[in-house]
């Protein structure tokens, strides 16, 4: 079975940066487009970013305004989320997920597109 483990969360001051990592095991990492989602306290789970199997194509939530970058290293079975200029509204539990879809259209923002999820890592941004 596919398992995903996130790491890199923590407490960061507003304006700072943080890099999240997610490692997949149980299957070939390169089989999956990989996504990041987040869930703020009392809110639903929102799309953050997705990257294609080969890392050539990525997509981001419009609200991020270029502050985040998704990347992957297939040799290490790891997807990353580089978060810059962090704001208090970025505070959330961040989840990585692997997509069941065979083909990636360049936009994959629904959580229904993802079959496996990590346990989440907490990111807290102080004012």
Are the beta carbons of 93 and 122 closer than 8 angstroms? yes
Q: Over the chain, what is the mean pLDDT?
A: 95
For position 10, what pLDDT does the model report? Answer: 97
Per-residue pLDDT reduced to its tens digit, 52-109 = 999 999 999 999 999 999 999 999 999 999 999 999 999 999 999 999 888 888 889 9
For position 6, what pLDDT does the model report? Answer: 97
For position 126, what pLDDT does the model report? Answer: 97
How many whole angstroms separate alpha carbon 36 and alpha carbon 126?
21
Share of the chain above pLDDT 90, in %: 90
Q: Distances in Å between the alpha carbon of 59 and those of 27, 43, 65, 66? A: 24, 22, 12, 11
Are the beta carbons of 20 and 80 closer than 8 angstroms? yes
pLDDT band at 125 (very low <50, low <70, confident <90, very high): very high
| Angle at 4 (CA atoms; ends 99, 113), nearest 5 degrees | 15
């Amino acid at each position: 079975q596919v398992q995903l483990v996130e790491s890199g969360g923590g407490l960061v001051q507003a304006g700072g940066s943080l890099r999240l990592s997610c490692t997949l095991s149980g299957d070939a990492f390169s089989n999956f487009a990989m996504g990041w989602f987040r869930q703020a306290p009392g809110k639903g789970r929102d799309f953050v970013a997705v990257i294609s199997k080969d890392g050539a194509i990525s997509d981001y939530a419009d609200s991020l305004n270029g502050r985040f970058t998704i990347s992957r290293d297939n040799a290490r079975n790891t997807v990353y989320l580089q978060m810059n200029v962090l704001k208090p509204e970025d505070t959330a539990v961040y989840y990585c997920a692997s997509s069941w879809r065979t083909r990636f259209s360049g936009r994959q923002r629904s959580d229904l597109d993802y079959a496996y999820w990590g346990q989440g890592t907490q990111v807290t941004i102080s004012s």
